[in-house]
Amino acid sequence: MKQVITTEYFVGQFVADGSISIGYNKSKKALDATFRISSKTNKNSLALSDQYLYEKLKIVSNVDTYSKNPTDRAPALRVQGVDKVLKVVSHILKNSEVLILGQTKEPIFGRKYRTLKVAKYLLENRSELIKLKKAELVDYLKTMHKDQYSDPDIQLGGSHTILRSELEERLGLDPGSSKGAAKEEIEKFDKQLVDQTNKILSAIANNSLIVNPWFTVGLTDGDGCFSASILHANDPSQDSDIDLILSLCSDGNAVVVNKVWLYALGEDTTNILSENSTLIYPAPIKDAITARINRDAYVWKALNFFKQNPPIGDLKKLGFELVYEIAAQKQNNSLKINVQKYIELILEYREKRALGEY
């Protein structure tokens, strides 16, 4: 049977591991644009997204070959060209309603929501901006990946390694003339993001938020993890045990994404929203945060969500199946008598993951 993904799953992957870059090409006097989704581990995810884009939008993307070398850059799917990228961006904003908040539906949220809105405006109005509003064009390009206009300019890579002053020079503008040029219009996007985030957090507090399950699966396949930690394996004075954790790592300024993920998997609402929540903490990766579920009752609840809505990514599916089996042993109070068996299975899984042989 042919495996396919839903729009909501595709959006989850984009929120977890997607990006959009737009830059000004001086020689062509035009904008360049790239839509990108990466996947370091799941070998099948990019092929499924490639298939999705062709079937939904008749867009042919470029997909990197998967590499077993853990030091290599994560393979990626790329859609290039302003018309194609605009088509993908518009599709996500219009057709992927992943949240229901009372009577309203939201297609995407967090920083990626603002990025998509700014990108859509840039690409739809590119001719006028390049010909008549060059200062505004630079201001839009340098705000695209921020949370709000007042944040410092970001150096991300691609066109975002280019300083504002360099863009101004490329477009024949006076130094500093672009700062504030589109401030009033851009701050409308800022307000949309703030309003949307507040509505989502309010819905979580009231337990009235509905999250599309396939969005949650796509998000988890992208940047989530099912992990089993071996405790006291080398200490003969103590019984060995296994600690189970579900986690999601995301952009440090996208904490609302982590909170929605925790809520969708049944975590305690008060703990999710607490300013001192132990569920969300800084990740070792710069400017990233991790949400985790590690209390047995909530781990079991989350795993049962995935039992009903299984991961699609091949490595995530393998990790889920192992962790679910161990959790079931815990539920039956039979893990202690089988702990050595599951320690061996965990080590075997880690080896498969390290070698890319799954």
List per-residue pLDDT tens for the chain, 358 residues long.
Answer: 678 899 999 999 999 999 999 999 989 999 999 999 999 888 899 999 999 999 999 999 999 887 766 657 789 999 999 999 999 999 999 988 999 998 889 888 888 999 999 999 999 999 999 999 999 999 999 999 888 999 988 765 555 568 899 999 999 999 999 999 999 999 999 999 999 999 999 999 999 999 999 999 999 999 999 999 988 666 655 667 899 999 998 876 678 999 999 999 999 999 999 988 889 988 777 678 899 999 999 999 999 999 999 999 999 999 999 999 999 999 999 998 899 999 999 999 998 888 777 7
- The model's pTM is 0.92
- Dihedral, CA atoms, 80, 83, 88, 94, nearest 10 degrees? 160
Count of other CB atoms within 10 angstroms of residue 222: 26
CA distances from 83 to 57, 59, 218, 270 (A): 12, 10, 26, 44
**Residue 160: phi, psi to the nearest 5?**
-85, 0
Q: Which of 206, 199, 212, 208 is nearest to 270 (CA)?
A: 206
**Residue 289: phi, psi to the nearest 5?**
-130, 155
H or E element that contains 44: none
* DSSP3 helix / strand / coil % (the chain, rounded to 5): 50, 15, 30
**Per DSSP, what are the bridge partners of residue 80?**
34
Question: Is 108:11 a contact under the CB 8 Å cutoff?
Answer: yes
* Amino acid present at 251: D
Question: Counting every residue, how long is the chain?
Answer: 358
Residue 65 is given by DSSP the state P
Q: DSSP states of 162-174 as a string?
A: S-HHHHHHHTTPP
Range 216-355 classified under CATH 3.40.50.2000: no
CATH 3.10.28.10: which residues of the chain? 7-203, 216-355
**Residue 332: phi, psi to the nearest 5?**
-90, 5
CA distances from 336 to 55, 240, 286, 322, 358 (A): 49, 8, 38, 16, 28
Report d(CA 346, CA 342) in Å as an integer.
Answer: 6
Report d(CA 261, CA 270) in Å as an integer.
Answer: 14
Task: Please give the pLDDT value at position 277.
Answer: 84
Sign of CA dihedral 88, 93, 95, 100: positive
Q: Which of 138, 134, 49 is nearest to 92 (CA)?
A: 49
Report d(CA 255, CA 252) in Å as an integer.
Answer: 7
Residue that has been written with the tokens 């739809």 in this structure = 124
Q: Residue 92, SS3?
A: helix
CATH number, domain 7-203, options 3.40.1180.10, 3.50.50.60, 3.30.70.2190, 3.10.28.10: 3.10.28.10
**Residue 37: phi, psi to the nearest 5?**
-130, 130
